[in-house]
Structure 1
Amino acid sequence: MEKLLGSVRSIVLLAILGFLLFFGAAGWLGKQFLADNARTQARVDHTNLVIATIYEARLNIARAQALSRSFVLTGNPRDAAVAEDSARLATDKLLDLRSLTADNPDQVRRFDDAAVITEQILVTNDRIIASVRQGDLDGAQAIVRGAADQAPAFRARIEEAVATETALLAERQDATEATLRRIAWLLGGVAALAALCGLLAAWALSRQVRTDQKRYRELEQAKLESDAAARALAESQAQLQAMLDSARDPILVVGQDGVVGLANRACGEAFGVAAGELVGTDISALAPALAGGAQPTGEVTVTRRDGSSFPAEISTGVFERDGHAASVCILRDMTERHRLDQLKNEFVSTVSHELRTPLTSIRGSLGLIVAGAAGAIPDKAKSLLEIAHKNSERLVGLVNDILDIEKIESGRMEFRHDRLEVGALVDQAIEMNQAYAAQHRVEYWVSARPDAALLMLGDADRITQVLTNLLSNAAKFSPADAVVDVAIHVFGHFVRISVRDHGAGIPEEFRSRIFQRFAQADASDVRRKGGTGLGLSIAKAIIERHGGRIGFEPAEGGGTRFWFTLPLLAEAPESAALPGDTRRRVLICEDDPDVATLLGLMIEQDGWRADIVRDAETALEKARTGQYDAMTVDLLLPGMDGITLIRQLRADPATADLPIVVVSATAQDGKRELNGDAFNIVDWLDKPIEQLRLRTALRQAGLRSRSGRACILHVEDDDDVIKVVGAIVRDEAEIVPARSLQEGRAKLAQRRFDLVIIDVGLPDGSGLDLLETISARTPREPVLIFSAQDSSASYASAVSASLVKSRTDNEQLHQTITDLINGLIQDKQGGPRHGR
């Protein structure tokens, strides 16, 4: 057998060697033939090029001669230009021909003769063209008539050259065809020899078939070895299955075709079947999110065999199995976690209502008592009450911070997008924190601010919350009698607001986690300052949601400078009213531009919109339009004086009831002059202007049409809150309580109110259900949401203002209610509403 196999191998080897030797020789011969053919083809191409160049030269000579004579007849400059170009091309082609045929002296001689004749023709052409250009048509015609006809001699030389090249072309084409015939014979021989070698190899291979029996025996032995390996693999898989079954989370192995190939015991428990029954199931029937080979992350919905489903957190991985990709999917049942999240949300909601509502009553009552609303109290009692009031404020801050952190983590913190002026927002925050600064014996100072108004979109309450946090921290950590520096700078499309304290600075080891939750430095002097460690974390979330950044840096000379940036809107012209601007309007009649500008700034700071006129005549014309809610008048005006203006305003029915505030250097003289006349002037203000008195006068101007105290419907189930609110606004309004949703609807059906205050959480439903009833009334009452729950964007556009219990102090609540009664806060839907 071995001898036979050796003979077969020898024959096959000899056949292969002969085949390789033949093809090597054939390849060499083929290479020689191909090189020869390439040379022949190059000669043919050269001859064709020469012939083509001859015809091009002949054509250009003929074109130059024809167009030069045509130029005599037409005088067309284009004929002359083309004739000259053709002459140049003809000369170039003759030079090319001399170069192409340099190896053939006879051809070179013919082309030299042709070049001489061409030169004579072209010289004659140039003379003809020159004569025509000079306007000598007779001379040009004479040259044409007297010129010898050189064309026959030129054609003779050209035809001889063409005949010679044509003969060469025929010879070279014959040589090319001979080469192709030799190559064809060679290829035929190669094909015949290849067929012979193939037959020889087939015969040799047929002899080897006789060795199959031995090979079968070898394959049988290999099968036995494979079976042993398969048993070892099965044992390994069983061990792997045991390991998977010990896992508490469901684990699935899914093939590339989407079919489950492996499932552990936890899968059976999760899907309500035996784990083995899941093998072979399409994964889309169990987890649709995994269909089509998808690899989702996070949470998916998983379906049991009985049709029920449960949420599961999924993680997937990919590995190779038998040359195909497979996925490992690990599921974790999220039902219990969702239940715990629901319990947490319910707890937060309970804390929000059950803590904020009583804290509102406690803080409001203590604030009223400390402010003397209940009458004089002994000094010792007052000291204890102040301690209680201060600590109630701390407790309120703690509750608010915890609830804010929960909203940030759950993504439920909502923001308004109102048009805000940055400078006014900073001023308001500083004014709100003046009492806190006085408590720590520090002073707030705005060291830098741009002259122009800076407009942005944002939530005023939330940005004020950030400013309050930074300002209170700076006051708390600065030494007594220090100045807290506030600066406003513009960088491109962003405004940068910074607050600098003069404290001991932030320890190096604490700087990396200063914006984390519950983060506080460990130094004992910092701990004594108090605080929850949540304020900066909340501030960071608020600023980032507004598209800005927040940070800090050590300040030169000691202390720390905290800063944050906010994106700005494009500035609008100062005289342009904002779209949908529904603020009350004041007409300022003042001839001094500086005083007029100052008055406008003061008035707009109080929420009014001011228009300025310089003389009484213009003021009278504008006032008659009925667009203004109040007016200021200077008595010393050019032309018509202020006294005359006031008399004419009161004599005109359109302006008879317009509230007027006199602002003049001679206010008291004017008051005496008009004394006894019923001109109903709101107030007489002397220059220089006192802003507080101007604000009071404008407030009175807004109340001119009101008779008696306002009537407020307060829908609230907590009697203590009702009493506190009633005590806060006792001078301006009468409170009508409604302790349930049903009672609120009944009170609204009985009469109209100047304001409706609504608590969201009521015993028989949500106070927000009253909004639909109020919106259907014409005119409709302004609405103030005063609730333990934070405002929601879903109803923010349907109310006039929204305040949160425990976030609102007595002064802010009083100011908001008063502004709503007086119409200083406008309806956000722009529709009609009831106003006093």
Structure 2
Amino acid sequence: MANSLRRVRLVILGISLLLLLLLLAGAAVGSRVLADGRAQREAMDGSHSVVASLLELRSALFEMVVERNLILSRAPDAPQGGYAAARQRVLDRQAALQRLVADSPTQAWSAAELAEAAELFATRLDETVNRRLGEGLDLPMLLREAVAERNRLSSRIDAMITYERNELARFNEAYAGRMAQLRALFLALFVALVALALAAVWSFHRYLRGNAVRYHALEEAKQAADAANAALWESRGQLQSILDHARDPILLVDSSSRVQVANAAAARQFRQPLAEIIGSPVQALVPAYGARSGEVQARRADGSVFTADLSIGRYNESGNSASVCVLRDVTERRRLDELKSEFVSTVSHELRTPLTSIRASLGLVTGGVAGALPEEVRELLDIAHKNSERLVLLVNDILDIEKIEAGRLEFRRERVSARALLAQAQAANAAYAAQFEVRLEAAGDGTVDADVYADVARIQQVLANLLSNAAKFSPAGSVVELSLEVEAGDVTFRVRDHGPGIPQAFRGRIFQRFAQADSSDVRQKGGTGLGLSISRAIIEHHAGSMGFTDAEGGGTCFFFTLPRLVDRSTLPSPAPREARRPRVLIVEDEPAVAMLLQMLLDEHGWDGVIAHNAREAFERMDRETFDAMTLDLMLPDVDGISLFRRLRQRPDGKALPVVVISATAALGRQELNGDAVGVVDWLDKPISQGRLRDALRRALQGSEGPARILHVEDDQDITRVVSAVMGEEARLVPARNLAEARAALAGELRFALVIIDLGLPDGSGLDLIQDIRAMDRPPPVLVFSATDADHRTAREVAGTLVKSRTENGVLHDTIRHLMDAARPSRAEAADEARDGGEPRQSTETLA
């Protein structure tokens, strides 16, 4: 009813507005008619004035000719007043005419020409009047000329009159057209007015008729509503019965966030009667309602809380938004998850730690650290070493699967070259493939490359799994091809083998856990069947995809894609970071040898500065500070022995380590004899890279001997293995718990590196980081533990390694790199000593 009245009001308002618009339009049309009539009258008056002025001008010209003729026919002394008056009238008529036609360019131009012609005609008449008859004028001829000239002027006047009348006719015609349009517009306005009146009558009639229909419909609706309410109460009772049989608390919440319906499980869980729950604000029961879903804290009437998994479904009720909330108590599930995590952590530590000791010890023994072994013993140790590797892989795969299921698999992504990833995988797995007499070769365009954002270790794990599978299932003597394909938004890695292919029945479950094409594969090829499942999970965590196809010519091609990063050339270049590398002064007169030494030093992380003679060497030392020197004994200006003695007399050269590199190194050693203090080594040419590297490392260690490493580890076997891996390059100081580690850090010894295990008897190894940061010169920290470090831990330390995943070589190189990077150069130490401060520590390697 209200809507009907609103429509009627709108119709009446619309009709009133239209009538007002029609009245305004009629007023505008009337105003236009008046304006056109006024313009018509003004045009006609102006035209008549112009025509009258032209006629008067023609009459005045005629009078002037007549008066001239009378003067010529009279005596010379006859009066000439009539001619002068006629001539003045001509001038007046000309001026009046020009004023009248000033608004018409065409007529104004014609009037100007007429005035010029009339002036010329009047001038000729004046000349004849002045000469009179006594001068022998030919009167008939003058009369004829005057008549002809007057006729020409009359023709001009007639033309102007004709033009003026034509213009007036055109104006009248246009005026008549406008009048016709206005009559049509008046007719249209009248028709519209009649139509509006009819519409108003029809609308009012329809309104009256509709009221009767609506009243009847309202009566029927009331009866239907009564029936619907009865059905609703019945349905509500059924709904309440269904909800009460549910085990999880269920709440129906209205648009004002109040509980409308609750089931019996809600009363039991919240320990309140249903009557108290219904009508109460839902935030009183679930404070996080409306903010988030998932795991939330729910509050009972007694103030206790429980963890619940909240699911919210939205629906509309009577035009308003409402929701159904289902809560599931996850306290027991959380307890089970914690037990599972604790079990996995225990298994991780208790399995990985002894396995690391076993594998590393076997690797050291088979590598010859204990000397030569009998062939039978070596074969047995190789068998033990290979099976320990298999066991380590099995444990790692099982733990990775558990982390994937729990969503705790950590990724440390960085920008990296896809081509570099492929080359690294090829080099790392070439030896494994060689065991099966299979070669790994790069295929396709070797220049194709793009950057990806990936966890290098995890992608290498995927590639290693694909390459190992391809090598195991390829025939001896075949080739496994690695290729890279770069598209607009993706980078695709492909590994293609020439094996028997994948059986059709196995393809649907090839990426499932513990999947094997044939149970005999486990015995013949080895493996757990977890590798492809883990690999696909890793790739999917990188927003990529993984699959396989039948290769042309036989075999299988496995591939995975990773999102491609924007080319670095399109991004702003980062500000260069100053490198902190040891500096070595190369004193060598032969340019080629000096360049070679500089390149060798650069490969091992040192900056080489060349001096071709003794003078250049001392000039360099006057300007710069160096950590070591390589010296050739045969120099062009001073021999190397004299340079060495002079060096030892300088304050900055007394303790500078020197490595002699010369063709006469043996003779120089005999000549210096006991004066060769500070000479680290004597190297003959040609140069041995290994001896040069070891000599410079000893030079950088200085007189303190091997660097000290604090190894915080409760497993003594691991401590002995790490000590054996480092050999004479470092001196390990063991600490079996946090207390011993803190005591060692508080002592007088300075450490180049701290290696910590996360699981210690009296706490976590991470508790030491604050103690280390509080030191004046905090050493870098390397986490070497059985469990993976998370992102936060990785950001707080210089490096992280997992025991069961780390080869001896990787462990050695990582420790060596961290110690070299953390050691301040002599130049930095000298600069800070002059400033009165302690030597700086590189921020790149601080814990």
User: With structure 1 as the length reference, what TM-score do the two structures score?
Assistant: 0.66
Gap change, CA 1:369 and 1:334, over 3 Å in 2: same
1:44 is aligned to 33
**How far has the Cα of 1:524 moved from its partner?**
3.7
Q: Which amino acid aligns with 1:737?
A: P
Gap change, CA 1:591 and 1:281, over 3 Å in 2: farther
1:529 is aligned to 525
Query: Does the aligned pair in 2 maintain the 1:629–1:658 contact within 8 Å?
Result: yes
Equivalent residues in 2 for 1:740-779 (5 A)? 740-754=737-751, 755-779=753-777
In 2, distance between residues paired with 1:590 and 1:493? Answer: 52
1:789 is aligned to 787
**How far has the Cα of 1:715 moved from its partner?**
1.8
In 2, distance between residues paired with 1:527 and 1:451? Answer: 41
Gap change, CA 1:661 and 1:545, over 3 Å in 2: farther
Query: Does the aligned pair in 1 maintain the 2:352–2:786 contact within 8 Å?
Result: yes
Q: Which amino acid aligns with 1:781?
A: P
Q: Which deviates further from its counterpart, 382-391 or 609-618?
A: 609-618
In 1, distance between residues paired with 2:775 and 2:767? Answer: 14
Q: Which amino acid aligns with 1:765?
A: G
In 2, distance between residues paired with 1:599 and 1:495? Answer: 40
Is the partner of 1:412 in helix, strand or coil?
coil
**How far has the Cα of 1:741 moved from its partner?**
0.9
- How many percent of aligned residue pairs carry the same amino acid? 45
2:272 is aligned to 273
In 2, distance between residues paired with 1:420 and 1:640? Answer: 50
Query: Does the aligned pair in 2 maintain the 1:37–1:179 contact within 8 Å?
Result: no
**How far has the Cα of 1:478 moved from its partner?**
3.3
Q: Which deviates further from its counterpart, 790-799 or 160-169?
A: 160-169
In 1, distance between residues paired with 2:389 and 2:567? Answer: 36
In 1, distance between residues paired with 2:761 and 2:405? Answer: 29
Is the partner of 1:504 in helix, strand or coil?
coil
The alignment status of 1:407 with 2:396, answered yes or no, reads: no
The alignment status of 1:349 with 2:345, answered yes or no, reads: yes
In 2, distance between residues paired with 1:186 and 1:453? Answer: 81
Gap change, CA 1:502 and 1:326, over 3 Å in 2: same
The alignment status of 1:723 with 2:717, answered yes or no, reads: no
Query: Does the aligned pair in 2 maintain the 1:51–1:162 contact within 8 Å?
Result: no
In 1, distance between residues paired with 2:426 and 2:196? Answer: 104
For residues 706-748 of structure 1, what are the alpha-carbon distances to aligned partners after superposition, in whole Å with 9 as ceiling and x for unaligned? Answer: 4444443322222332333334344344433222211221222
2:359 is aligned to 363
In 2, distance between residues paired with 1:514 and 1:119? Answer: 103
Query: Does the aligned pair in 2 maintain the 1:47–1:169 contact within 8 Å?
Result: no
For residues 171-216 of structure 1, what are the alpha-carbon distances to aligned partners after superposition, in whole Å with 9 as ceiling and x for unaligned? Answer: 9999999999999999999999999x99xx99x999x9xxx9xx9x
In 2, distance between residues paired with 1:788 and 1:830? Answer: 28
In 2, distance between residues paired with 1:546 and 1:621? Answer: 55
Equivalent residues in 2 for 1:237-248 (5 A)? 237-248=236-247
Gap change, CA 1:183 and 1:817, over 3 Å in 2: closer
In 1, distance between residues paired with 2:516 and 2:708? Answer: 48
1:712 is aligned to 709
In 1, distance between residues paired with 2:361 and 2:569? Answer: 44
For residues 205-228 of structure 1, what are the alpha-carbon distances to aligned partners after superposition, in whole Å with 9 as ceiling and x for unaligned? Answer: 99x9xxx9xx9xx98x99999877
Gap change, CA 1:586 and 1:115, over 3 Å in 2: same
Gap change, CA 1:598 and 1:44, over 3 Å in 2: farther
In 1, distance between residues paired with 2:210 and 2:685? Answer: 125
In 2, distance between residues paired with 1:439 and 1:513? Answer: 28
The alignment status of 1:308 with 2:324, answered yes or no, reads: no
Q: Which deviates further from its counterpart, 796-805 or 387-396?
A: 796-805
In 2, distance between residues paired with 1:455 and 1:787? Answer: 31
Q: Which deviates further from its counterpart, 742-751 or 495-504?
A: 495-504
For residues 388-442 of structure 1, what are the alpha-carbon distances to aligned partners after superposition, in whole Å with 9 as ceiling and x for unaligned? Answer: 2222211212222232333344443444466767777666655554553443344
**How far has the Cα of 1:531 moved from its partner?**
2.0
For residues 647-679 of structure 1, what are the alpha-carbon distances to aligned partners after superposition, in whole Å with 9 as ceiling and x for unaligned? Answer: 59946654565556677xxx5356656753448
Gap change, CA 1:335 and 1:646, over 3 Å in 2: farther
**How far has the Cα of 1:553 moved from its partner?**
5.3
In 2, distance between residues paired with 1:338 and 1:474? Answer: 41
Q: Which amino acid aligns with 1:387?
A: I
Query: Does the aligned pair in 2 maintain the 1:713–1:737 contact within 8 Å?
Result: yes
In 1, distance between residues paired with 2:410 and 2:624? Answer: 39
Is the partner of 2:279 in helix, strand or coil?
coil
Q: Which amino acid aligns with 1:117?
A: Q
Q: Which amino acid aligns with 1:830?
A: S
**How far has the Cα of 1:801 moved from its partner?**
3.0
1:9 is aligned to none
Question: Which of 661, 671, 679 lines up with 1:676 in the alignment?
Answer: 671
Is the partner of 1:256 in helix, strand or coil?
coil
Query: Does the aligned pair in 2 maintain the 1:650–1:657 contact within 8 Å?
Result: no
Question: Which of 329, 334, 337 lines up with 2:333 in the alignment?
Answer: 337
Query: Does the aligned pair in 1 maintain the 2:251–2:324 contact within 8 Å?
Result: yes
Query: Does the aligned pair in 2 maintain the 1:626–1:654 contact within 8 Å?
Result: no
Query: Does the aligned pair in 2 maintain the 1:635–1:662 contact within 8 Å?
Result: yes
Q: Which amino acid aligns with 2:250?
A: I
Query: Does the aligned pair in 1 maintain the 2:669–2:682 contact within 8 Å?
Result: no
Gap change, CA 1:334 and 1:675, over 3 Å in 2: same
Gap change, CA 1:369 and 1:615, over 3 Å in 2: closer
For residues 287-345 of structure 1, what are the alpha-carbon distances to aligned partners after superposition, in whole Å with 9 as ceiling and x for unaligned? Answer: 34445xx8x65344433333333333333444454565543333322222222222222
In 1, distance between residues paired with 2:548 and 2:642? Answer: 57
Q: Which amino acid aligns with 2:761?
A: P
- In structure 2, stretches of 5+ residues that fail to align are 1-14, 48-99, 116-152, 826-839
Gap change, CA 1:123 and 1:264, over 3 Å in 2: farther
Gap change, CA 1:818 and 1:832, over 3 Å in 2: closer
The alignment status of 1:739 with 2:728, answered yes or no, reads: no
Is the partner of 1:252 in helix, strand or coil?
strand
In 2, distance between residues paired with 1:533 and 1:49? Answer: 105
Query: How many residues are treated as equivalent by the alignment?
Result: 708
**How far has the Cα of 1:263 moved from its partner?**
1.9
- In structure 1, stretches of 5+ residues that fail to align are 1-25, 59-109, 126-145
Is the partner of 2:671 in helix, strand or coil?
coil
Q: Which amino acid aligns with 1:808?
A: T
The alignment status of 1:469 with 2:481, answered yes or no, reads: no
In 2, distance between residues paired with 1:428 and 1:649? Answer: 49
Gap change, CA 1:681 and 1:447, over 3 Å in 2: farther
In 1, distance between residues paired with 2:797 and 2:501? Answer: 44
Q: Which amino acid aligns with 2:748?
A: R
In 1, distance between residues paired with 2:629 and 2:792? Answer: 38
Is the partner of 2:272 in helix, strand or coil?
coil
The alignment status of 1:385 with 2:375, answered yes or no, reads: no
Question: Which of 104, 110, 113 lines up with 1:120 in the alignment?
Answer: 110
2:94 is aligned to none
Gap change, CA 1:509 and 1:634, over 3 Å in 2: farther
Gap change, CA 1:668 and 1:538, over 3 Å in 2: farther
Gap change, CA 1:299 and 1:610, over 3 Å in 2: same
For residues 24-49 of structure 1, what are the alpha-carbon distances to aligned partners after superposition, in whole Å with 9 as ceiling and x for unaligned? Answer: xx9xxx9xx99x97997698399379
In 2, distance between residues paired with 1:310 and 1:647? Answer: 79
2:260 is aligned to 261
In 2, distance between residues paired with 1:188 and 1:612? Answer: 102
Is the partner of 2:800 in helix, strand or coil?
strand
Work out which of the two has the higher radius of gyration on C-alpha atoms and give 1 or 2. Answer: 2
1:579 is aligned to 577
Gap change, CA 1:183 and 1:569, over 3 Å in 2: closer
In 2, distance between residues paired with 1:247 and 1:117? Answer: 104
Query: Does the aligned pair in 2 maintain the 1:726–1:734 contact within 8 Å?
Result: yes
Gap change, CA 1:481 and 1:274, over 3 Å in 2: same
Gap change, CA 1:227 and 1:340, over 3 Å in 2: same
In 1, distance between residues paired with 2:656 and 2:603? Answer: 21
Query: Does the aligned pair in 2 maintain the 1:453–1:571 contact within 8 Å?
Result: no
User: With structure 2 as the length reference, what TM-score do the two structures score?
Assistant: 0.66
Q: Which deviates further from its counterpart, 551-560 or 396-405?
A: 551-560
The alignment status of 1:396 with 2:358, answered yes or no, reads: no
